[in-house]
Amino acid sequence: MVSRLLLFDQDPALLARITGWLEREDWNILGVLDPHEVVERLRYAPFDVVIAGQGSNGFDGLKLLRRLHSIRPDTRVILTGDRDPERAIAALRAHAYSYLHHPPAPNPLIEIVQSATDSADWRDDLSVISARPEWVTLEMRGRMEAAERTSHLVRELAVELPPTVCEDVAAAFRELLFNAVEHGCRLDPRKHVHISLLRTPSQFMVHIQDPGKGFSLGALSHAAVSNPELDPTHHVEVRAEKGQRPGGFGILMASRLVDELLYNERGNEVFFVKNVT
């Protein structure tokens, strides 16, 4: 199955680079330089994914997003724009599939386009419950595709942090969120994960709550966090004996990327703190 992609950016050189990054046999790509042409192209025929880039002369990507959805509501639109967490949230509230700061980097762009082309029934995956610059609350369905989208969003919400801090927050968040979906929601899209992201001048904090029964850290023999000090790969043998896929490093890795990581008594809520300065 070939997916049809419509790319828009008013910078011809960047449009050419993005087209080159996304060239694949199963992606049919059309690039345009005029936002009015984007609307007309979508009016004429459907596209699976639209990537709406930076404009000029009063161009507003959010207005274009709303216009496109008024024509074809199910189109997955990826917006790119300024490094602005508030704009990323506004894009999500306007039902953008994702938001990437401009100019987008190749790997994150390819990942989110792949997710968009693969995803079905995506519109209710992620909701903004409350959003102030210092406190964002999200609700997410228990799907791995939703977790991928949310991980990209959190990277955008942390984009104003120092680069290494942003990467640590994003990586720790992704590991813990995937655990919540896989073990807490059991990959059931009828269940939801609640997420809060808090920012102070000196700290970035994350709280994730899943609907699962929870767990005890001391009972995680299949996870690296429980390995004996003198046997750092013991959990690999346990996972093999249980027929589980390779892995089990998520909690340990996350704990080393952040400054504080805490679980509640039940084990279905996790909170971490990353110092900004």
Instruction: Give the predicted TM-score (pTM) of the model.
Output: 0.86
133 and 246, same structural domain?
A: yes
Neighbouring residues of 185: CB distance < 8 A, sequence distance ≥ 6: 142, 191, 192, 193, 210, 211, 212
67: domain CATH number is 3.40.50.2300
Please state the domain count of the chain.
Answer: 2
178 and 63, same structural domain?
A: no
137 and 82, same structural domain?
A: no
**Among the three residues 88, 121, 154, which one is the final residue of a domain in this structure?**
121
User: What is residue 234's predicted lDDT score, i.e. its pLDDT?
Assistant: 46
Which two structure tokens, joined as six digits, stand for 130?
């409350």
User: What is residue 231's predicted lDDT score, i.e. its pLDDT?
Assistant: 46
139 and 273, same structural domain?
A: yes
For 194-233, b/e burial (b = at least 16 CB within 10 A) is bbbbbbeeeebbbbbbbbbeebeeeebebbbbbbeeeeee
Amino acid, res. 228 = P
Count other Cβ atoms within 10 Å, centred on residue 156.
Answer: 24
**Among the three residues 86, 102, 121, which one is the final residue of a domain in this structure?**
121
pLDDT by position in tens, the chain (length 277): 789 999 999 899 999 999 999 999 999 999 999 988 999 999 999 999 999 987 666 668 888 999 999 999 999 999 998 899 999 999 999 999 999 998 889 999 999 999 999 988 898 999 999 999 899 999 999 999 999 999 999 999 999 999 999 999 999 999 999 999 999 999 999 999 999 999 999 999 999 999 999 876 655 544 544 445 554 454 445 445 555 554 456 788 899 999 999 999 999 999 999 999 8
167 and 87, same structural domain?
A: no
C-alpha dihedral (131, 272, 80, 78), degrees to nearest 10: -80
183 and 111, same structural domain?
A: no
Q: In what order do the strands lie in the sheet with 27-32?
A: 27-32, 3-8, 49-52, 76-81, 98-101
Please give the Cα distance from 247 to 249 (Å, whole number).
6
128 and 116, same structural domain?
A: no
172 and 75, same structural domain?
A: no
160 and 116, same structural domain?
A: no
177 and 264, same structural domain?
A: yes
Rg (CA), the chain: 20
Domain housing 184: 124-277
Alpha carbon 104 to its chain centroid, in Å, reads 14
